[in-house]
């Protein structure tokens, strides 16, 4: 699993994840992921376009980090998950906790609206 961090305008961080968000993948990036989401009023877009799989280990990492971001006055959204990943996110109810968008401009607008 690979994590790429890019700072966008308006205090928005774009985190691109690449690989499988299974047990090994989640454990390999969890500390880096949490650190990339730290701060007051930080807004995070997590790009899942290159995540081929998400397991029951990756889901709590996302939810817990999103709750922490929200507690510090920020917002987290998910961007462009592949169909199989989107199905798992929908099935587990993550979409009720973390909004999902399918293009970057919509994700940015979603961050601003919250």
Mean pLDDT confidence for 72-101: 94
Report yes or no: 13 and 43 within 8 Å, Cβ to Cβ: yes
The owner of tokens 């290159």 is 50
Question: CA-based Rg of the chain, rounded to a whole angstrom?
Answer: 13
pLDDT reading at 114 higher than 80: no
Find the range with the poorest average confidence among 47-51, 69-73, 109-113.
109-113
Query: In this predicted model, what pLDDT tens digit does every residue of 28-67 receive, in sequence order?
Result: 999 999 999 999 999 999 999 999 999 988 899 999 999 9
Q: What is the pTM of this model?
A: 0.95
Angstrom distances, CA of residue 99 to CA of 2, 28, 39, 66, 79: 22, 25, 20, 10, 9
- The CATH code for residues 2-106 is 3.30.750.24
Query: In this predicted model, what pLDDT tens digit does every residue of 2-17 receive, in sequence order?
Result: 999 999 988 899 999 9
Segment (H or E) for 43:
strand 43-54
């Amino acid at each position: 699993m690979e994590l790429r961090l890019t700072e966008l305008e308006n205090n928005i961080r774009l985190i691109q994840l690449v690989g499988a968000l299974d047990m090994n993948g989640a454990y390999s990036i969890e500390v880096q992921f949490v650190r990339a989401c730290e701060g007051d009023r930080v807004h995070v877009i997590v790009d899942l376009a290159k995540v081929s799989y998400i397991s029951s280990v990756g889901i709590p990492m996302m939810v817990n980090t999103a709750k922490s971001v929200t507690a510090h006055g920020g917002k987290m959204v998910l961007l462009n998950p592949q169909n199989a990943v989107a199905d798992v996110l929908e099935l587990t109810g993550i979409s009720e906790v973390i909004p999902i968008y399918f293009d970057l401009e919509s994700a940015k607008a979603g961050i601003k609206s919250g």
